[in-house]
Chains A and B, each alone.
Chain A
Amino acid sequence: MTKMKRRTFLKGTAASSMIGLAISAGLLKPRIAMAAWPQVGFDAKTVDGALGALYQSSSTSPSTAINIKAPDIAENGAVVPITVTTSLPAEVITLIVEKNPSPLAGNFILGAGGIGYVSTRVKMGKTSKLIAVVKAGGKLHSADKEVKVTIGGCGG
């Protein structure tokens, strides 16, 4: 009988330490989410899913203080130049191509002295909205611009 008790006791501690591990792993994740590459955000298949993974919120308020410079018509979807500028005190600028298989294109984290400006080139599978989300003062602001694509740049 005592043997049995000892065995159940051991089983119990093993199980609870497993739970403890799972919890600490779970707790660690959100804390390093901004520093580590946001796998979940890039895997997301929807705009809301991507924003939810990055910011735990997909509600953004439209802002006229964000300007997206991109061509109206892109002949080659594989290389679409895009420049986002904002007068907001931006901390993070997130670039989203709404209709790409994975909408999140890039996440740009500004450091000390950072100005609301980022420029890069993205691939667009088809005609889609480009969405720029700017995190400033703990809030999410957004602007979008439609770009027509004549030859897509994602598939083969």
Chain B
Amino acid sequence: MAEKTIRIRAELSGDVTDVKALINHTMETGLRKDAKTGETIPAHFIQEVTCEVNGKQNFTAQWGVAISKNPYLSYQFKGGKKGDKIKISWVDNKGDKDSEEGQVQ
């Protein structure tokens, strides 16, 4: 996976850090059929997204096929500060994975 699949934005406002992530992923449900062949397109979707702050697990999202294509995720936590390292990783049902790091702004 040469291209980056994750875009992270983490912003501190007051004492709350808001983490936003956009992930490029097909999120195939396994219910759709190929328009030409009529064959079912196999499910291919992200199952788990984890977020680490300064190396410590901070948030976990477990997803099914109902999460939209090119998923968007946002969550918030208290106790963060500017410069904190945010690492977001995902793994899908085929074992593909990627991770990306960002900083709290």
CB-based contact B64/A104 at 8 Å? yes
A109 in contact with B66 given A37-B47, A115-B76, A154-B31 (CB within 8 Å): no
Residues of A within 8 A of B47 (CB): 37
The answer to whether B73 touches A109 (Cβ under 8 A) is: no
Q: A108-B60, A109-B60, A110-B59 are in contact. Are A97 and B66 (CB under 8 A)?
A: yes
**B33 to A, closest residue via Cβ:** A156
| Size band of the interface chain B makes with A | 20 to 34
A68 at the interface (CB under 8 A from B): no
Number of A-B contacts (CB under 8 A): 115
Does chain A have a CB within 8 A of B56?
A: yes
Is A112 engaged at the interface, CB distance under 8 Å to the other chain?
A: yes
Counting from the closest, the 5 A-B pairs by CB-CB distance are A105-B66, A156-B32, A113-B79, A121-B68, A119-B74
A110 to B53 Cα, complex, angstroms: 13
Is there an interface contact between A80 and B75, defined as CB atoms closer than 8 Å?
no
Minimum CB distance partner of A107 in chain B: B62
